[in-house]
Amino acid sequence: MIACILIPDIISACSPEAKPLILVSNKGIVRAASLSLAHKGVRVGMRTQAAHALCPEATVMPFDDQPYRELVETVADSLLIFSSKVELPVGFWRPQRKPLLSIHPSGAIFYVDLGKLRKTEAAQLVHEMSALLLATFHVPCCVGLASNKFTASVAVRLAQPNNPKLVQRGFEGRFLARHSINLLPLDKEINRRLHQLGISTIGQFATLPADAVFNQFGKQGRFLHMLATGEDTCPVSTRIPKAKEHLTRVFDGAIEDKQVLQSALEGMGCELAKRLAEKNLTTQLLELTFATDDKHTLKTKRVLHEPTAHGKLLGRTLLRLLEQLKCEAGVTEVRVMADNLATPVMRQLDLFGTATLNDNRLSDLLEKLTMRFGNESLYSVVTAEPDHWLPEYRYVIEPIEEEVA
C-alpha cells in the first residue's frame, strides 16, 4: 500500500510568524501564497499591491525557496518513523534556470510505501501520520492510498484533511477511468495527438489496445498506458536521512554579555566534538541560531575547509559565527547544528591543517613565510558552494591559519 501525502498549505508552515504569507518576486509579482489567501482571491502572478489590498494582514516577503526546501526535507525525515521508503519527488518547486523559480501552487507531495497492510491498518497508520504532521509542523495534510504511486497521486486529489481516499487493490483502473487524461505525465506531442483522437479521459486511453499504443507512441506510450490501466510499477525510493547533530542551550534570563556567550559557545563546541567523537563522525557545516528576548531568531552558518570533530576548532568557528550575527538584543536560547556529517578519513597530521595546501613544497614555503612575516597576508582558496546563487558564497578566500595542536 502506498500513501501519497499532500500538504496543500506548506507555505504557511514556512512563515516565521503565525500569519498568512505572500511571497513576491523582486518585480512585485506574487509567486506563492498561503492557502487561506487563495480563498480570498490571491493568485500566483498577480501584482503585490492587488494581493495586499485583498488581505492587508498578510506578511509580504521576497520569494526564496530555501526555507521550503529545508522544511520538506525535515517533513520527509519525520515520516521515516513509518517506513524507510519515503520519496520526496524531485522537480517540485525546484528553481529553474537562474534565480527565476516556478512554483507549483498545490504544495508539497510525499510518497510513503507502507508495505502490505489491511484496509483498517492502513487507515490507522494514515491517521497517525496526519496527527504527527499536524502536531509537529502545524500543517493539515490530505492522504491518498492505493497500490501504486500514480493511483495514489490521483486519489489524493479527492481526499480531505482527516478523510483519506482509499482505492482498493483491483479497482485502480476503474477509479482512474473517469479522470482527465491531463493527469498523466504526457509530453506536448502525445497530448496534442491524444486530443486530436478525441481522447479526454484516462479510461478512454486505457481501453486502447496496448500494442496499438506502443506502435503509435513508442516506449513512452507503453508506460503511460500502464499508468492508465492502474499498473504503475515504479517503486518508492528508499530515503537515507541526512545525519545531523543538534545542541541547544536555554538560558534562565536573557544573556547580553558577549563574554558569557563566548564561553557558552566554546563549551558547546567541546560538547559537540565529544558527541561526534562518540559516533566516530566529523562535521563540515556548522549552523548557529540565537533566539533573542525580543522574539527574533538570528541564524548563520559556515562551511568548514575540512570535516572535523575537534573541539577547539568547532568552538572557534562558533565564535566567528557569533561575530557575524551582530546580535543587539539579549540571547535566551542558543542552538548549534552540525551538518554534512561523515566518518573521518585518516590522514597524516601536518602543521597547517585548516586551509592546508596539498602541495607539500608550498606548505614548506608557507611555513617559512609565516615564520618571517606572520600569516596575515597568506590566503588560500576553498570551494564552498559552487552552485550558490550569490557568487560570494561559491568560494571562500581566507587567511591561512595555524592548526590548533
Write the interaction track for other proteins spanning residues 38-77; mark x where CB under 8 A is met and - where it is not.
-----------------------xxxx-xx----------
Q: Please, which residue, 197 or 381, has the CB nearer to other proteins?
A: 381
Least CB distance from residue 218 to other proteins, whole Å? 28
198 is a contact residue toward other proteins (CB under 8 A): no
183 is a contact residue toward other proteins (CB under 8 A): no
Write the interaction track for other proteins spanning residues 96-115; mark x where CB under 8 A is met and - where it is not.
xxxxx---------------
What CA–CA distances, in Å, run from 191 to 1, 47, 73, 180, 223? 30, 32, 33, 12, 14
CB-count burial class (<10 Å; 0-12, 13-18, 19+) for 105 = middle
In this chain, which of 115, 381, 402, 404 binds other proteins, going by CB under 8 A? 381
Least CB distance from residue 316 to other proteins, whole Å? 21
C-alpha 121/C-alpha 160 separation (Å) is 19
Q: Please, which residue, 171 or 395, has the CB nearer to other proteins?
A: 395
Phi, psi of 2 (to 5 degrees): -115, 130
365 is a contact residue toward other proteins (CB under 8 A): yes
Name the grid cell of 205: 486511453
Q: Please, which residue, 60 or 234, has the CB nearer to other proteins?
A: 60
Q: Please, which residue, 264 or 325, has the CB nearer to other proteins?
A: 325
Q: 147: Cβ–Cβ under 8 A, 6 or more apart, which residues?
A: 1, 2, 167, 169, 172, 230
Write the interaction track for other proteins spanning residues 323-362; mark x where CB under 8 A is met and - where it is not.
----------------------------------xxx-xx
Nearest Cα to Cα of residue 159 among 143, 146, 171: 143
C-alpha 53/C-alpha 32 separation (Å) is 16
CB-count burial class (<10 Å; 0-12, 13-18, 19+) for 303 = middle
Element (H, E) at 209: none
Q: Please, which residue, 24 or 338, has the CB nearer to other proteins?
A: 24
Least CB distance from residue 380 to other proteins, whole Å? 7
| Alpha-carbon dihedral 389, 391, 393, 399, rounded to 10 degrees | 180
Q: How many residues bind other proteins (CB under 8 A)?
A: 50
Looking only at residues 2 through 41 of this chain, which bind other proteins when binding is defined by CB under 8 A?
16, 25-27
Cβ(371)–Cβ(328) under 8 Å?
Answer: no
Least CB distance from residue 62 to other proteins, whole Å? 4
C-alpha 351/C-alpha 345 separation (Å) is 17
Looking only at residues 266 through 295 of this chain, which bind other proteins when binding is defined by CB under 8 A?
none
Least CB distance from residue 335 to other proteins, whole Å? 14
380 is a contact residue toward other proteins (CB under 8 A): yes
What CA–CA distances, in Å, run from 255 to 63, 167, 292, 332? 33, 56, 9, 6
Q: Of 1-9, 40-48, 297-305, 336-344, which segment contacts other proteins by CB under 8 A? A: 297-305
- DSSP annotation of 158 reads G
Question: For binding to other proteins (CB under 8 A), which residues are involved?
Answer: 16, 25-27, 61-64, 66-67, 94-100, 298-300, 357-359, 361-362, 364-366, 368-369, 372-373, 376-383, 386-392, 394-395, 397
